[in-house]
Amino acid sequence: MEERIAVYIHIPYCLNKCNYCDFYSLKIDEDETRAFTLALLEEIKHNSSNIKAKTLYLGGGTPTSLPTPLLKKIIESARQSFSLPISAELTVEANPETLDEEKLNMLIQVGVNRLSIGVQSFNDDLLRFLGRIHSAEKARSAIRKAKELGFENINIDLLFAIPGQSLDDWRRTLEETLSYEVTHISCYSLTFEKGTRLWKDWQMGKIQPLEEELSAEMFEEAHRMLTSRGFAHYEISNYALPGYECRHNLCYWRGEPYLGLGPYAVSFFPPHRLRNPSLKGYLKGKQAKVEEVVDEEERKKERLMLALRLSEGIEKSMLRENPLVEEMLREGLMEERGRRVRLTLKGMLVYNSIVSNLL
Ligand code: SF4
């Protein structure tokens, strides 16, 4: 039987650029969205003869910033071209500002069964600091509307370690998120990425990252609050109710092949990692190029790096020769679960240094 893979579609537009964002996203130009959609439909068609999807994920950027008829066309075409099974996970990322009733109804009608809403915080001061275009009230009404119209599987993205955020602020945002009875919650630590407005302000001494100790407390608080309410902490930054883990992202974390469509999207067909051109080249019809050849040794390292993010961990045999593992087990940074090992909460807090030590 033909193997199905995860398919990702990158929509490169946003209404505005957030202060911390280093994703490939551009301010939306309504006049250009038609040409972009045509190019994307062409790319979908071009890849459809040899690929079948097991999950479909539209991310960005902000997919829901596209005009409703264009977004509808893209989803319908991708579903059909990649023969996505009816029960397969179909996610669309959304910004609360762009979720009106018309768009939500269209998403349901074309079979989107997982909505990922970028809320980030329910504190308006923090949202302004981040440069988000939506208010806390807008986020509240978008979540309520989505639920009311029938979305059952909803993820909410949250950010912590925001300068000016207190532990109590964070608790309130988590508490409110839980009150909406969503199925999945992602909690990302804010990072200062080079080239962003946040990074520049930091370099100029206008702002400072939150102290590490407080940020660690926030990470632990999320774990405590969410796991006590039935969520499994199945990946360093991700929590899900049983059965609602993001199947698409699990494909990445398990090191499986995937197809990426849209400007600057990455595909992985071992041993090749390919990247699409940026929007300008994409609109001229330029094709994806091999960015990297991942040899077996490198692939093993990547698999290890990714698997350690997951609570399912990794087969002990994959780490057998590494003397550091025993030390980490003794120090409580790792724990054994049958034939597998995984990071403990303490280990997750120092994930980056564990990975660099192991590799
Ligand atoms: S909405 Fe998301 S992708 Fe768009 S600018 Fe903000 S963080 Fe970046």
| Ligand 1 atom nearest to 17, measured from its CA | 5
The reported pLDDT for the residue numbered 95 is 97
At 12, list the tokens. 């490169």
CA dihedral over 163, 164, 168, 173, signed as positive or negative: negative
**Distance from Cα 204 to the centre of ligand 1, integer Å:** 23
| Ligand 1 atom nearest to 22, measured from its CA | 8
Of 16, 25, 133, 279, best ligand 1 pocket probe by most atoms within 8 Å of the beta carbon: 25
Lowest mean pLDDT among 77-86, 145-154, 229-238, 307-316: 307-316
Closest-CA residue, ligand 1 atom 5, reads 17
Taking CB atoms within 8 Å and a gap of at least 24, the contacts of 348-351 are: 348/219, 348/236, 349/216, 349/219, 349/220, 351/236, 351/308, 351/309
The reported pLDDT for the residue numbered 223 is 98
| Ligand 1 atom nearest to 93, measured from its CA | 2
The reported pLDDT for the residue numbered 17 is 97
Query: Domain boundaries in the chain?
Result: 5-252, 313-359
DSSP of 213-275: HHHHHHHHHHHHHHHTTT-EEEETTEEE-TT-S-HHHHHHHTT--EEEESTT-EEEETTEEEE
**pTM check: above 0.85:** yes
**Distance from Cα 76 to the centre of ligand 1, integer Å:** 24
Q: Examine the pLDDT at 317 and tell me if it is beyond 90.
A: no
Q: What percent of the chain has pLDDT over 90?
A: 94
Q: Examine the pLDDT at 164 and tell me if it is beyond 90.
A: yes
Q: In the chain, what is the straight-line distance between the N-terminal and C-terminal CA atoms, in Å?
A: 36
Q: Examine the pLDDT at 321 and tell me if it is beyond 80.
A: no
Euclidean distance between CA atoms 237 and 6, whole angstroms: 20
* Pocket residues: Cβ below 6 A from ligand 1: 14, 17-18, 21, 23, 25, 60-62, 95, 118
Q: Examine the pLDDT at 320 and tell me if it is beyond 70.
A: no
The reported pLDDT for the residue numbered 319 is 79
**Distance from Cα 103 to the centre of ligand 1, integer Å:** 19
**Distance from Cα 331 to the centre of ligand 1, integer Å:** 38
Contact between 311 and 339 (Cβ < 8 Å):
no
**Distance from Cα 60 to the centre of ligand 1, integer Å:** 7
β-partners of residue 290 are: 274
Closest-CA residue, ligand 1 atom 2, reads 61
State whether residue 14 is helix, strand or coil.
strand
Closest-CA residue, ligand 1 atom 3, reads 61
Lowest mean pLDDT among 43-47, 138-142, 220-224, 354-358: 354-358
Cβ-count burial 99-114 (b if 16+ within 10 Å, e if not): beeebbebbeebebbb
Condensed to tens digits (0 to 9), the pLDDT of residues 65-92 reads: 999 999 999 999 999 999 999 999 999 9
Q: Which residues are CB-neighbours of 5 under 8 A, at least 6 positions away?
A: 51, 52, 53, 54, 251, 256, 257, 258, 259
Task: Select from 137, 139, 69, 92 the least CA-distant residue to 246.
Answer: 92
The reported pLDDT for the residue numbered 316 is 85
Q: Examine the pLDDT at 1 and tell me if it is beyond 60.
A: no
**Distance from Cα 30 to the centre of ligand 1, integer Å:** 17
| 99-124 average pLDDT score | 98
Closest-CA residue, ligand 1 atom 6, reads 18
**Distance from Cα 15 to the centre of ligand 1, integer Å:** 9
Condensed to tens digits (0 to 9), the pLDDT of residues 30-53 reads: 999 999 999 999 999 999 999 999
Pick the CATH number of 5-252 from 3.20.20.70, 1.10.10.60, 3.40.50.620, 3.10.310.30: 3.20.20.70
Task: Select from 20, 6, 26 the least CA-distant residue to 66.
Answer: 26
For the chain, what is the mean pLDDT? 96
Of 17, 199, 264, best ligand 1 pocket probe by most atoms within 8 Å of the beta carbon: 17
| Ligand 1 atom nearest to 16, measured from its CA | 5
Condensed to tens digits (0 to 9), the pLDDT of residues 253-309 reads: 999 999 999 999 999 999 999 999 999 999 999 999 999 999 999 998 999 999 999
